[in-house]
Amino acid sequence: MPEIDDLLKLDPFGMTQAEKDAWYFAELKALTQYHYDHCAPYQRLLDRVFPTSKRATRLADLPFVPANLFKSVELKSFTNNEQTTALTSSGTSGKASSKIFLDKRAALLQSRVLKQIFSSVIARDNETMFVVDTAAVQGADGPISASHAAVRGFMPFAKATVFLKNPEEKLDPAPLIEYIEKKTGKPFFIFGFTSVVWTDLIQKLVHDSFKVPGNDGILIHGGGWKRMQDRSVSRTQFNATAKDVLGVRAVHNYYGMVEQTGSVFLCCENGYFHSSIFSDVIIRNAVLNEAVIGEQGLIQVMSLLPKSYPGHSILTEDLGSLQGVDNCLCGRKGRYFSVHGRAPQTEIRGCSDAR
């Protein structure tokens, strides 16, 4: 079973599913036992809802935590005197937020894995990262929001960070335009949450009838697709408009969530999300059995990284479908899938037993 430090030296998408299966299940099963031994609410959940999980012989048989449980129960696998960072989900207006606890090692691994996963699309010598947010994300005290954590996670990819919103949340694209005009050919990237990038940056430029000159930049965005679907904006439309208006050479989306450290799925050139050697995905149908390729169901995400809390296997509230294994035209190995949007709000029966 490879160590995390050894995995960080490998191509994150270069291992076939068969090669990965040879050790990944054992690692996830060990993590399950670790959290069972160190987190009392998680232990109660497994005893009541997944009593046969210790006899699991494959990945799909291992237990999972419903994502909404993090909104009502503090799940942590450490003593209260250990130093941790609390992350909170952005949350839908009027609804509770998830709260996740990371220790120093988990936070460091998250940053290192993020850099490894995006190494194939983000240049190593970026001059600047332009953030469609305010500079307030740098100095937040107390719990860190999902948006703040994401911005902080991408900051090491560039020598400098420029925020395109002032403290009053008003967007000013002038620094981006000035940079492109003065530093032709210098690699850079723009980062932001999908709906914010669309509404506050792209649509503002469209409204002002302004197009950024063609450049060597890329756009990285994630989250917020429910709002985009509500506006009837497809991924194809988003990408085409972003390239046209921002002049960037590429647009890359990713799928991830604050509830699972290290589970970031990069969207490839063909529009599919890929699991890396650090993560994996299972689609579960209406009766929570493992779905076949092409069958729609709830997305279950798995990660090797969470050790400070039992977030290594989570059943999300998103609908998706597995599209294939090892055979995507982009060349990346492993499972790849599509995301279709949010499922109707449901609670997995028995999850209240963790309280």
Strands 335-342, 279-284: pairing is unpaired
Tokens linked to 185: 């050919």
Cα–chain center distance at 348: 22
Closest CA to 203 of 250, 252, 246: 246
Quick check: 157 pLDDT over 50?
yes
Would you call 82 helix, strand, or coil by DSSP? coil
pLDDT, tens digit, 9 for 90 and up, residues 209-263: 888 888 989 999 988 667 777 778 888 899 999 999 999 999 999 999 888 876 7
Query: Is residue 164 a contact partner of residue 130, using CB atoms and an 8 Å limit?
Result: yes
Query: Is residue 314 a contact partner of residue 2, using CB atoms and an 8 Å limit?
Result: no
pTM of the model: 0.89
Torsion, Cα 318 189 261 229, to 10 degrees, reads -10
Show me where the domains of the chain are located: 4-354
Q: How confident is the model at residue 90 (pLDDT cuts 50, 70, 90)?
A: low
User: What is the pLDDT of the chain when averaged over all its residues?
Assistant: 87
CATH topology for 4-354?
Rossmann fold (3.40.50)
d(CA 345, CA 328): 32
User: What was the pLDDT predicted at 143?
Assistant: 62
Residues near 2 by Cβ (< 8 Å), separated by ≥ 6? 23
Quick check: 352 pLDDT over 50?
no
Quick check: 94 pLDDT over 90?
no
Residue ranges in 183-221 assigned as alpha helix (H): 194-196, 203-207
d(CA 102, CA 306): 8
User: What was the pLDDT predicted at 342?
Assistant: 85
Mean pLDDT of 140-165: 81
Q: How confident is the model at residue 354 (pLDDT cuts 50, 70, 90)?
A: low
Residue 212, number of CB atoms within 10 A of its CB = 19
pLDDT, tens digit, 9 for 90 and up, residues 293-308: 999 999 999 999 999 9
Name the amino acid, one letter, at 75. Answer: L
pLDDT, tens digit, 9 for 90 and up, residues 170-180: 888 899 989 98
User: What was the pLDDT predicted at 321?
Assistant: 98
